[in-house]
Amino acid sequence: MSKRHQLRQCLLNKLASSRFSPSITVYSSRLIEFVKFSIPIQRLLKKYVNETDSISESLSIYYHDLKMKQKSVFVYDLIHTEEIPIFCQIHHLLKINEKWFAIAEKLHTKAFNEKLWAYEVEYTGTLEKIDIEHCLDLFPHCLDIYVVKETYYINLLVRLTKR
């Protein structure tokens, strides 16, 4: 009983400390010049950054013990009364002026496939600049895209609701 109590206390202490201190571990980071980005990304970033600002790009980061990497998918928003999820796929993880952002492409949710228990999605080409914290608001996990007969699916096993 005492060992179980100690393990529970360790878990609660870890959870309490991780909520208030944003712990970020960065892997394979490199400085990148503003002009090296594609034209659509330059247009998107022009509102938020000067061409002389320092921009770091990372292939993957650990944010609050969650690994976020390029091509990961997360739930961006819920729409309508049915609370249909809007997904985004990360293209770039950028640190601009000491703050982390994701450049992500919005995915259009077409339908829910009950046989696969997954959402059918399609790429829209619409890019968004999103704070890392917002990526984890609705569902604090990264997801994957699966291809079945040339159709893209995202498996989400829980029902999401806005707070």
The domain tally of the chain equals 1
Which residues, 6+ apart, have CB-to-CB distance to 25 below 8 Å?
61, 62
pLDDT digits (tens, 9 = 90+) for 70-80: 899 999 888 88
pLDDT digits (tens, 9 = 90+) for 25-35: 777 788 888 88
Domain range enclosing 28: 23-155
Asked, for residue 129, whether it belongs to a domain, the answer is: yes
Asked, for residue 162, whether it belongs to a domain, the answer is: no
Provide the CATH number for the domain around residue 36: 2.30.30
Q: Provide the CB-side half-sphere exposure for 49 (13 A, CA).
A: 24
Residue 26, classified by CB atoms within 10 Å of its CB into exposed (0-12), middle (13-18) or buried (19+), is: middle
Asked, for residue 6, whether it belongs to a domain, the answer is: no
Asked, for residue 8, whether it belongs to a domain, the answer is: no
Asked, for residue 3, whether it belongs to a domain, the answer is: no
pLDDT digits (tens, 9 = 90+) for 46-105: 888 877 778 889 888 888 778 888 899 999 888 887 788 999 999 999 988 888 889 999
Asked, for residue 122, whether it belongs to a domain, the answer is: yes
Asked, for residue 141, whether it belongs to a domain, the answer is: yes
Asked, for residue 140, whether it belongs to a domain, the answer is: yes
pTM, rounded to two decimals:
0.77
Beta bridge partners of 153: 120, 146
